[in-house]
Every structure is written in C-alpha cells, then in structure tokens.
Amino acid sequence: MLNNVDALDVDRRRIRPSNLVSRRQGLALGFGLLTAALLVSGCGPRVDSPDAFRERQQDYLEFATAGPIRTNSLLNVLNHLERAHTDDDYAVTDGAVPADAWDGIFEKLFRLRDTSDFDLLYLLNLLYAYGGHPIAPDALWAAADQTVLDFKYWYTDPTPVREFAGAPVIDQMWYWSENHILIFRVNEYLAGQRHPDRTFSVTGLNGAQHRARARAAIMDWLDERAETGFTEWHSDVYYQKDVTPLLSLVEWADDEELANRAAMVLDLVYFDMALKLQRGNFGATHGRSYIKDKATATTQDAFNSAKMLFDDTDLDYTSTSAPDATLLARAREYRLPEVIERVALHDEPMATRERMNRPLDEVPDPDPFVLPPVGPPGLEYRDEANLPVWWAMGAQPVWSILPLTFEVAERDNLWRAQFSAFKTLRDIVWVDGDMDATLRAARPWLVNLWKSINASVLKEVNTYTFRSKDYMLSTAQDYRKGARGSQTHISQATLSEHAIVFTQQPGYLPVASGAPIPADWNWQREDEPGPGYWTGSSSEPRSAQHENVVIQLYAPQYFANPLFGFDYREETHAYFPQAHFDEVVQSGSWTFGRKGEGYVALYSLRPTQWRGGQPDVFQNAGLPFDLVAPGGAQNVWITEVGSEDEWDSFASFRAAIEAASVTATLVPDQESDGKDDGYAVVYESPSQGTMAFDWHGPLIVAGLEVPLADYPRYDNPFAHTPFGEDHYVIELNGHGLELDFATNERRITQDRAQSSDTD
C-alpha cells in the first residue's frame, strides 16, 4: 500500500495488489493546461471512501448471484465462484455444474461460428481463475482445455476438416474488426501461455510458439491505439469488447511489459468513457452502435462496468453476466486511476475535442489506367502485414484496399462465409489470374457505387462533446457526408439515462405499414447490422457542433438501388421518447423536451409528425417516440440544449428559441453526381449568436470559423495531447495520470491533501 506520505504519492509501477483492497490513485504532475476555474475549484467531484470500488465490485457480485447459478453461462459461473471466494457468507456447491453444461459452447467453438472468440475469452478467464474447481467435474475442465487446444486462432491458419450433423464445418468467424483482432490474439496468447508445451491441433505449433506469435500482434494493436485511438470510436457496444481482452491481459499475462501496456490502453478506454458519461449514459457519438444500445443507458453493453467504475446513476445493474463487469468484479491487478473517476463525476460545463483513426481516401479514380495508390510508408495497401489496420476500418471494398481484399479472400476462400457480402461484386468483375484486369473491370462499379458499398468504412473522425451537469451533446464533425453508414451514430443529445434525442435517415420501415407487429419481434435481429430503421443511417448527415448546438444537413449523395440492397426512405426522423421526459412541447418547427433541469430543443425544416404502429424501442409506455419528417430525404435538423441554470425556466428557454430565426436555402448539385447538396442554413441561436453552415462551407459562429477537422488527439480541460503522439497526461485538482508509451511507463500520483482515499 502507499503509506506514510505527505502531499504526493508517486507510483511508477503497475499496481498488483495481492488482495482485493481498492487502491484508487491519482496524480499531481505540476504541468498541463488546466483552466483557472479548475485550478481553484476546491476538492472537485465526489470520490468515495478507500474501499468504495471494492464495495461496488461486491455489489455487482451480489446482484449477479442473487439467483441460482446459470450453469450454461461461463460468466455467471465465474461470478458465483468469485463471490464464494470473496464473501465468507456465500458458498457454491460442489458438482453444481453438470458435465454437459457447456456442450452448446463447445459446439459453437467446434463449428467456428461467428463470435466464438468472445466465448473462448470467457472460457479462458474461467480456466485461469478457477480451473479445476469442484463446482464442475474434472472431465468438464479437461474438455474445456482440449477445446482451447483445438481452436482456430487466426484466419491464415488452416481450417480443420470437421463435420457437424453430417455437414462440413465452414469457418464463419469474423477476425478483422478492431475488437475481434484483439480478442483472437489475446485468446491465442493466453492459450499458449497456459499450454506452452502442448501441440495445438489446427497448426501443429506448440503453445509457446502461439504465445510468441500472438504477442507481436497484440503489441501492434496496442501501439496503434496509443497512436491513433479507436476505429470504433466511443462505441457503447464495442468498447466492452475491447475492455474484456485488455483486462484479461492485465490479470493473466505473465509478461510484465505486455500487461502494463494493456493497462495503459485500458486507462484510455475508461478516460474516453469518463469524458462522455451523463447519468450512467455513455451518450456520445458512436463509431458503431445499435438501437438495442443507444436508446437508453441500461441497454448499453458498457453500462454495467461504467456503473461499477463511476457510480453516477441510481439505476441498478442490468445483467448477471455482463462480460466487462464480470471480469472487472474479479480484477485483482487493475485499479482505475482516481483522476479518471473524477473526470467522470466532474459537473462543470466543458468541451472535449478528439481525433481518432487514420484518414482514408474512398474516392476511386475514374481513369481505368490509374492504379490504386500504394499507401503511406509502412502501411502500404498491398502488404498483408498491414491488413489488420485497413480491414479493421471496414475498408475491404475501398478501391485502394480492394486488390488485397481480392487476393486474400481468393487464397483463403473467404467468399464462402466471411466475405459473402462482397461476393456479388467479385463474381461480376473477377478475371481469373489477372488482377489488373479484375481491377479495371471493378473500376466503373466502384466509381458509381462507392458511397453505397463502403457503408462499413470507419475512417478518421473528429468528435466534439459538450457536457454540463444537466445535459450532454456529442457529434462526429463533418463525417462522410451523404454516404451510406452501417452502424454509425453521428450525434446525440443526452439529458439522463433514458431521455435522449438523435436523428437518422432510415433504410426501411421496421414493420410494413398496416401490418401487425410480430409477437416475437427482436430489435437485435430485425434492425441490425444496419443501416436499418434505427441503426446506422442510410446517408450520413453533414453535421457540425459548437458547444451546445449542432446543425445536421441530410442530403444522400447516391441513388437508391434496391437490387443491390442500397435503399432508403424519402424521409428523416428523430428518436424523441416522450415517456422519458418530464415535459414535451411542440411549437411550429420546434419540439422541446425537459428532463429535470435539462432542456432540449429540436428543429426540423420539413414539417414533422409522430409515427406509431411500430415495435416499442424502450419502455415507451404507449407514448410517441418517433418524430418523422416525411416528404424527402433532404432535411435540416438543429438541436440546442440548455438548462435551468442558464435560462431560469423551461418556458424562458422555449420562448428564446421560438423567437430565433432559421433560414434554409436549397444548394444545387455542385459535384455533378445528380444529387442536390442539401441546404445552406443560418440559425440565430439565442445562446451562440448567428450560426451559418452548408453542404460545402465551414461552420461560422458569431462571425468566426469553427474548425471541424484536424483536432488534437485530446483537447479538454484535463488533457491536451497532439494527434499522433503516444504520451498522455491527464490531471484534475492534484490527481492525474501519465501514460508514456515510448517508455512503457504508467505513472500515477495522488495528492493526499485533497483525496478522500487515504490509508
């Protein structure tokens, strides 16, 4: 423990407590660019007693184990075993898990089904934590270890010749998104570490060889995140999937350098969440999200771990087997630096600008004799060693990446399952044995369809978030305007766990007009992966936010083509759940909502109406939640948020905005693509002054241009990190964190004079 100190504690090591006593730590580095208000703001946000995190770990375990053991859930079994380990008044029964309890999991792994890597990670955590425990028979633990030895850990490994139910096993696993890349490699590392001398049946390599192979790939992944941030930016779904392998490395890797680096990247994930948490809701713009997550805090995959770490919502936990919360509740090695908790609880108004990921030119050259570019030095597009970078960005069909996609998919027969969505294009353009001829044949298709077929692309993004104690507004600035977006969530206003507002252009109705709602309707199945009715957007708006106002211009820049599945509705709409606001008032083109002391105003250029007759998104009590602007896909939406502190009353807020002038002028086609370019808008915001924005020009606020691109990696009151640097400093009121990836140093210091976390 960090004892016998005066003003400051400094610990340069990764904290590895031998027991579960909480060690929240902080930092006072004496440098950085905190505002004067922060420097004199007293003791800062509420941070609990020394054992608060340990207590929250135990709270989650008690919640997760309130019912009987769900023996077919690896994570629920882990929660029961962990509670038995940490709670003298709780016990598990020997033999409670029968020998066939995990047969469904073993079958999934045997058949190489998609998301098998998730299940294997949970299995490995259970084996490392409690393998051999008498809760399950020895034969079951042995079968689990054999499954580890028989798994396929990377797409280049041979697919084992297997049959299931008389049919050959086809590899259907997706290896290439940002989170999957890390999970597969961490699985391989931990499997190899567990069985260093055993032979793995798929490759014939021993565990030590697998461990070494995986380590190099993991270090590349960690370094990429340190340099450019996350491809799946601010994701309320996939940050959970990043957290679980990172925690697994911190807890189980016997390589101190690797484990420490994983802890540093984990700090960055949690810092990103802390900056964008509003009453338990990770309500930011998201690189990837689904309606099952973004409609409310409590269905977000990140909710349970955010509650455990930051405890800024009175709502209870929601899952007895949340992967991130389960592993965090068991964590011995990782403790959240106190400064990150304080950032999450900081309630003064603040803006956060961030840049993540790498730029990527999606526009194909129309000249059939111009070859695709070679790519930046060290990240050449045709080098398979760089595939995890480009494919993690969903860039498989981008013209510069397409040669690599064709070569690898043809060699490894990925068309059969993983790349079946691209097979139609391949079959149309493929010229056997001649890649140059194939690319020439593909060129016209790419020139005409790139805004449609590149829907899953996630490239460099600049995000802006403004948060106060009563509201938060978050936006991806000027991101892929007019192009199809698969799972992106461009902008959101968040007032509470459930009171949120966002806009979107739908691809189709969730239920055909006049048709009955199916009794077994499931948003997870029906509206994903997108773009659907609520998930993703059939065209990305051109969006620009400054402080508490965002202007969004919708103007799809491609023609609907139902034959290829590229369709959209001639309308835009907003999620505005009346049931979760204290007041909702409509006046002219504006719809207003109040939740507590937070206010939101939403403007639509096209007249709006409430649409019913569709499945409930989240506990809407029969009240309207879908505000539709029919009549055309081009539209202007404006969102402005405010609070009682700023306006004295909801009525004053409404009156000021109702009196504000909005003018919109149609912008004709300037790109010769046959599509008009949205509107030029001038909004006389009562809080920001005159705001002007259009499809091509900058955002002008009160006569000054507001930058929408080239942001730093972090720019907020707590951290100022230039983009591309791998040295981070976070500080708040004498607490903080320094992450130096060049030296692999995680430096945590704490001002004991201001900390409630004393020994």
Asked whether residue 194 falls in the same domain as residue 117, the answer is yes
What is the per-residue pLDDT for 70? 98
Scanning 474-612, the segments in alpha helix (DSSP H) are 523-526
DSSP string, 605-640: SS--EEE-SS--SS--TT---EEEEES-S-EEEEEE
At 71, the amino acid letter reads: T
| pLDDT higher than threshold 50 for residue 40 | no
User: Alpha carbon of 307 to those of 246, 270, 323, 567, 757: distances in Å?
Assistant: 19, 12, 14, 39, 19
Asked whether residue 596 falls in the same domain as residue 522, the answer is yes
In-domain check, residue 419? yes
Domain-terminating residue out of 346, 370, 399: 346
Confidence tier at 39 by pLDDT (50, 70, 90): very low
- Domain range spanning residue 415? 384-453
What is the per-residue pLDDT for 49? 52
In-domain check, residue 514? yes
What is the per-residue pLDDT for 143? 98
| pLDDT higher than threshold 70 for residue 8 | no
Asked whether residue 34 falls in the same domain as residue 172, the answer is yes
Average of pLDDT values for 466-477?
98
Q: Which of 257, 291, 335, 279 is nearest to 56 (CA)?
A: 335
∠ CA 135-141-142, rounded to 5°: 150
Q: What is the pLDDT of residues 709-724, one digit of tens each?
A: 999 999 999 999 999 9
In-domain check, residue 358? no
Asked whether residue 336 falls in the same domain as residue 407, the answer is no
What is the per-residue pLDDT for 515? 87
Domain tally for the chain? 3
Asked whether residue 544 falls in the same domain as residue 413, the answer is no
- Region for 704 from its dihedrals, namely left if φ exceeds 0, alpha if ψ lies in -120 to 50, beta otherwise: beta
What does pLDDT average to over the chain?
91
- CA gap 3, 382 in Å, rounded: 55
Q: What is the pLDDT of residues 480-521, one digit of tens each?
A: 999 999 999 999 999 999 999 999 999 999 888 788 988 888
For residue 33 the two structure tokens come to 């660019």
- CA gap 328, 303 in Å, rounded: 13
What is the per-residue pLDDT for 179? 98
Residue appearing with tokens 């929408």? 708
Asked whether residue 591 falls in the same domain as residue 482, the answer is yes
Confidence tier at 753 by pLDDT (50, 70, 90): low
Asked whether residue 64 falls in the same domain as residue 83, the answer is yes
What is the per-residue pLDDT for 704? 98
Confidence tier at 91 by pLDDT (50, 70, 90): very high
What length does the chain have? 759
Asked whether residue 480 falls in the same domain as residue 446, the answer is no
What is the per-residue pLDDT for 503? 98
Asked whether residue 442 falls in the same domain as residue 334, the answer is no
What is the per-residue pLDDT for 23? 23
Q: How many CA atoms lie within 13 A of 464 on its CB side?
A: 19
Q: What is the pLDDT of residues 106-152, one digit of tens each?
A: 999 999 999 999 999 999 999 999 999 999 999 999 999 999 999 99
Average of pLDDT values for 159-188?
96
- pTM here is 0.92
What is the per-residue pLDDT for 20? 26
Asked whether residue 446 falls in the same domain as residue 466, the answer is no
Asked whether residue 143 falls in the same domain as residue 239, the answer is yes
In-domain check, residue 376? no
For residue 394 the two structure tokens come to 């969903």
Domain-terminating residue out of 453, 481, 502: 453
- CA gap 578, 272 in Å, rounded: 29
The helix (run of H) or strand (run of E) holding residue 429 is: helix 423-429
In-domain check, residue 729? no
In-domain check, residue 379? no
Confidence tier at 560 by pLDDT (50, 70, 90): confident
Average of pLDDT values for 73-95?
97
For residue 435 the two structure tokens come to 């890649």
Q: What is the pLDDT of residues 330-366, one digit of tens each?
A: 999 999 999 999 999 999 999 999 999 999 999 999 8
DSSP conformational letter for 537: B
Q: What is the pLDDT of residues 430-461, one digit of tens each?
A: 998 888 889 889 999 899 999 999 999 999 99
In-domain check, residue 43? yes
The dihedral over CA atoms of 557, 709, 357, 302, expressed in degrees to the nearest 10, equals -90
Residue appearing with tokens 């100190």? 5
Q: What is the pLDDT of residues 222-262, one digit of tens each?
A: 999 999 999 999 999 999 999 999 999 999 999 999 999 99
Q: What is the pLDDT of residues 258-317, one digit of tens each?
A: 999 999 999 999 999 999 999 999 999 999 999 999 999 999 999 999 999 999 999 999
What is the per-residue pLDDT for 327? 98
Asked whether residue 134 falls in the same domain as residue 283, the answer is yes
> Of 172-181, 334-343, 528-537, which gets the smallest average pLDDT?
528-537
DSSP conformational letter for 693: E
